[in-house]
């Protein structure tokens, strides 16, 4: 048994990370994808949204927690979304967030919801309203908006005018959400626009959401920040405001790299998870606690050289490990150290939990839940990857070709 912060840790401490955590995997994470320069095709990738759903179901089978697949429209458009949702349910998964696309059409060269032209804005609004209808047909509870809108040069457009257009457009969309569904507004501090982005950071997203409505919330993409940004502080503030809707989880070294979760800075991932665990246990802050209980954890990674399915499984496992370590933090002792000003002990309590090797504990918890002790190795040994490669010919790209 492992000792953490002066107390014994067991598989029971980590049960939530194995059976309570809910993870969405991205449909685009299963198809051929790559860098801005080259897409490297791989054998066995899915050829349509139904095969993407089959892959998501396989990941759910091995991990036990990744039982939802996020769709991207129009990349995942089908003739009958109700049939796709039924197909998913038959395989033990559900349709997660519906991700809109307002950055691919020629008309969006100067923006979409923020475009100076009323006709272009109307086209973008109509597309997101269509996503709301798709969410209604699939039983999805999230419609996500990420905007490539911005400018490349000073003077190209008016900042305040663009923000007014954005708020007015989202106010038109908000009432069309299915009952109980939420609108997530994602931000990104640069790219593809290089002078300014219309939703550049979490504060801008939060301020717009407050103007739009109660069901508008912020989506935090862990790769969409300037280097050195304190993401766990952003998470803490959004929890306190009750406006943290969900995550697009990945990792980065320089830019929006979309690498596997926890592959570059696992300590940062642990610190983010710590804020979420702490908020969920905080009975004195009902807003943060309620918000933390409804956060959506979606992977958003783009595999250009690594095999698709194993990479998704590894990301899920990395997230589980980060949450498991966060669950081992002795919160009462941490609070006491903070209140007494014991800087070293407070930091040490976090570091001790992070340094704990939880893999054995997670393996035992998975075995108790009837899951493979090591989902990654179990998938590789199953022969399913070889079967996919032999039966699927002509896999499609994750998005545009």
For residue 8, pLDDT over 70 is answered with no
Helices 343-355, 331-340: crossing angle, 10 deg rounding: 160
Helix (H), strand (E) at residue 237: helix 231-241
pLDDT tens digits for range 210-250: 999 999 999 999 999 999 999 999 999 999 999 999 999 99
pLDDT tens digits for range 42-92: 899 999 999 999 999 999 999 999 999 999 999 999 999 999 999 999 999
Average pLDDT over residues 275-287: 96
Q: Which residues contact 209 (CB under 8 A, 6 or more apart)?
A: 185, 216, 217, 218, 243
pTM summary value: 0.95
Instruction: Tell me how many helices (H) and strands (E) the chain has.
Output: 15, 12
Q: How many structural domains are present in the chain?
A: 1
CATH of the domain at 309: 3.20.20.150
User: Do residues 21 and 293 make contact, with C-beta atoms less than 8 angstroms apart?
Assistant: no
Structural domain of 233: 15-330
- Residue 37: predicted pLDDT: 76
Q: 14 pLDDT band (50/70/90 cuts)?
A: confident
Peptide bond into 192 cis (omega under 30): yes
100 DSSP β-pair partners: none
Peptide bond into 290 cis (omega under 30): no
For residue 395, pLDDT over 80 is answered with no
Helix (H), strand (E) at residue 137: helix 118-138
Beta strands 142-145 and 182-186, pairing class: parallel
> How many CA atoms, within 13 angstroms, populate the side-chain half-sphere of residue 11?
14
Q: Which residues contact 276 (CB under 8 A, 6 or more apart)?
A: 235, 239, 292, 295, 323, 326
On whether residue 396 sits in a domain, the answer given is no
Task: Report the range of poorest mean pLDDT among 30-44, 124-138, 171-185, 255-269.
Answer: 30-44
Q: Which residues contact 74 (CB under 8 A, 6 or more apart)?
A: 101
Average pLDDT over residues 280-284: 95
On whether residue 350 sits in a domain, the answer given is no
- Residue 3: predicted pLDDT: 39
On whether residue 132 sits in a domain, the answer given is yes
pLDDT tens digits for range 289-323: 999 999 999 999 888 889 999 999 999 999 999 99
On whether residue 21 sits in a domain, the answer given is yes
Task: Report the range of poorest mean pLDDT among 27-41, 48-62, 302-316, 361-375.
Answer: 27-41
pLDDT tens digits for range 110-153: 999 999 999 999 999 999 999 999 999 999 999 999 999 999 99
On whether residue 139 sits in a domain, the answer given is yes
On whether residue 317 sits in a domain, the answer given is yes
Indicate the average pLDDT of the chain: 94
- Residue 39: predicted pLDDT: 82
Tokens 């197909």 sit at which residue?
Answer: 87
On whether residue 378 sits in a domain, the answer given is no
Average pLDDT over residues 15-41: 88
For residue 7, pLDDT over 80 is answered with no
Rounded to whole angstroms, the Cα distance separating 102 from 186 reads 13
On whether residue 347 sits in a domain, the answer given is no
């Amino acid at each position: 048994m492992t000792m953490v912060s002066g107390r014994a840790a067991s598989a029971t401490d980590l049960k939530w990370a194995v059976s309570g955590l809910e993870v969405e995997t991205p449909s685009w994470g299963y198809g051929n994808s790559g860098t801005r320069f080259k897409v490297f095709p791989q054998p066995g990738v899915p050829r349509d949204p139904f095969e993407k759903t089959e892959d998501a179901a396989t990941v759910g089978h091995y991990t036990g927690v990744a039982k939802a697949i996020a769709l991207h429209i129009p990349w995942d458009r089908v003739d009958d979304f109700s049939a796709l949702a039924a197909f998913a349910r038959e395989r033990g998964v559900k349709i997660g967030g519906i991700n809109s696309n307002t950055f691919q059409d020629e008309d969006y060269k100067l923006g979409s919801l923020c475009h100076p032209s009323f006709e272009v804005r109307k086209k973008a609004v109509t597309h997101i309203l269509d996503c709301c209808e798709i969410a209604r047909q699939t039983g999805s509870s999230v419609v996500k908006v990420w905007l490539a809108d911005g400018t490349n040069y000073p003077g190209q457009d008016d900042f305040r005018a663009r923000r007014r257009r954005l708020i007015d457009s989202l106010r038109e969309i908000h009432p069309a959400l299915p009952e109980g569904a939420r609108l997530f507004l994602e931000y990104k501090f640069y790219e593809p626009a290089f002078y300014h982005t219309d939703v550049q950071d979490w504060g801008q997203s939060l301020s717009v959401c407050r103007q739009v409505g109660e069901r508008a919330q912020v989506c935090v993409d862990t790769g969409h920040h300037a280097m050195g940004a304190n993401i766990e502080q952003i998470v803490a503030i959004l929890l306190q405001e009750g406006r943290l809707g969900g995550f697009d989880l990945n990792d980065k070294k320089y830019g929006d790299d979309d690498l596997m979760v926890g592959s570059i800075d696992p300590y940062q991932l642990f610190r983010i998870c710590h804020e979420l665990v702490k908020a969920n246990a905080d009975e004195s802050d009902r807003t943060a606690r309620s918000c933390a209980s409804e956060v959506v954890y979606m992977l958003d990674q783009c595999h250009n050289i690594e095999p698709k399915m194993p990479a998704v499984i590894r990301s899920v496992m990395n997230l589980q490990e980060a949450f498991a370590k966060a669950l081992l933090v002795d919160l009462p002792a941490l609070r006491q150290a903070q209140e007494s000003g014991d800087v070293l002990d407070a930091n040490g309590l976090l570091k001790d939990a992070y340094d704990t090797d939880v893999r054995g504990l997670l393996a035992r918890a998975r075995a108790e839940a009837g899951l493979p002790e090591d989902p990654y190795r179990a998938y590789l040994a199953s022969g399913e990857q070889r079967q996919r490669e032999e039966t699927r010919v002509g896999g499609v790209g994750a998005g545009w070709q």
